Amino acid sequence: MEREAALELVKKQLTDHRYQHTLGVMETAIVLAQQYGGDEQKAELAAIFHDYAKFRPKEEMKEIIASQGFPEDLLHFNSELWHAPAGMYLVEKEAGINDPEVLDAIRYHTSGRPAMTLLEKIIYLADYIEPGRHFPGVDEVREMAKENLDKALIMAIKNTISFLIKKNQTVYPDTFYTYNDLITKLED
Ligand code: DGI
Ligand code: FE
Ligand code: FE
């Protein structure tokens, strides 16, 4: 799908603020793909659609997770996690995206997962460091992203885990498993 057609589909699903975020993720993901030898077209497409389901009603996302073979334990954790798997499903159904690598990058963009692919890492990190983000510590992650993709990813995941813990929120196990996987491989 061409960029303009994809953006038009996504724009209808999002608020203006979230659409601007999506454009930032798209630009950042393309740069990361160029830098780390990823597929630029897949990075562009996955970035454009990554938050497609962000504003779907919770009931709809729950129903998708329960009926489409996604892990049901997601439903016992923060509902912020749900738009990623629900998005994967809806993007295939409503926008006809069927590239499994692109779909997995959308599916795992919030929780992460162990043994992430290059494309999944690019989308996860682009989502975290796009120019519209202002988390504490994001500039350090942006700097590291220029040098080492995995180290930057670890910083982003650590920040997210600490943020959730500080707010007394649950952390989905896959987020810990992602951290463990990356940190173990780094020490090899
Ligand atoms: O959709 P975005 O706001 O662009 O970003 P996102 O898809 O990374 O997810 C949004 C939020 O999800 C993020 O601020 C933290 C929250 N969240 C809640 N539970 C978890 C979680 N994030 C991770 N990685 N793991 C969790 O268990
Ligand atoms: Fe998201
Ligand atoms: Fe996002």
Residues with CB under 5 A from ligand 3 (ion): 51, 127
User: Could you tell me how far CA 16 lies from the centroid of its own chain?
Assistant: 19
Domain enclosing residue 107, as ranges = 3-135
Rg (CA), the chain: 15
Q: What is the amino acid identity at position 80?
A: E
Is the Cβ atom of 172 under 6 angstroms away from ligand 1?
Answer: yes
Mean per-residue pLDDT over the chain, rounded: 97
- Taking the C-alpha atoms of residue 187 and residue 99, their distance in angstroms, rounded to an integer, is 33
CA of 102 to the centre of ligand 2 (A): 14
Kindly give the distance from the C-alpha atom of residue 111 to the centroid of ligand 1, in angstroms, as a whole number: 7
User: 75 C-alpha vs ligand 1 centroid, how far in Å?
Assistant: 14
pLDDT at residue 93 in the model: 98
Residue 176, domain member (yes or no): no
What pLDDT, in 10s, does the model give residues 40-78? 999 999 999 999 999 999 999 999 999 999 999 999 999
Is residue 127 lining ligand 1, measured as CB closer than 6 Å?
Answer: yes
Q: What are phi and psi of 66, to 5 degrees?
A: -70, -35
- State residue 106's pLDDT score: 98
Nearest to 34 by CA among 66, 138, 42: 42
In a domain, 143, yes or no: no
- Residue at 99 is within a domain: yes
How many other C-beta atoms are found inside a 10 Å radius of the C-beta of residue 127?
21
d(CA 156, CA 16): 25
CATH number at residue 13: 1.10.3210.10
Q: How confident is the model at residue 80 (pLDDT cuts 50, 70, 90)?
A: very high
Is pLDDT above 90 for 95?
A: yes
Q: Is 130 within the bounds of a domain?
A: yes
Confidence of residue 14 (pLDDT cuts 50, 70, 90): very high
Distance (Å, rounded) from C-alpha 101 to C-alpha 121? 12
Whether the CB-CB separation of 47 and 25 falls below 8 Å is answered with yes
Q: What CA–CA distances, in Å, run from 60 to 2, 63, 74, 83, 93?
A: 28, 5, 14, 10, 14
Tell me if 187 is assigned to some domain: no
Return the ∠ at Cα 144 (arms to 140 and 146), rounded to 5°. 125
Nearest to 76 by CA among 171, 152, 185, 181: 171
State pLDDT tens for residues 118-165: 999 999 999 999 999 998 999 999 999 999 999 999 999 999 999 999
The structural domain count of the chain equals: 1
pLDDT average, residue stretch 100-109: 98
Q: Which two tokens stand for residue 84?
A: 């990623």
| pLDDT of 188 above 70 | no
Output the pLDDT for position 108.
98
pLDDT digits (tens, 9 = 90+) for 154-175: 999 999 999 999 999 999 999 9
Q: What single-letter DSSP state applies at residue 130? A: S
CA of 110 to the centre of ligand 1 (A): 5
The reply to whether ligand 1 has any atom less than 6 angstroms from the CB of 108 is no
Task: Check if 111 has its Cβ closer than 6 Å to any atom of ligand 1.
Answer: yes
The CA distance from 110 to 31, in Å, is 20
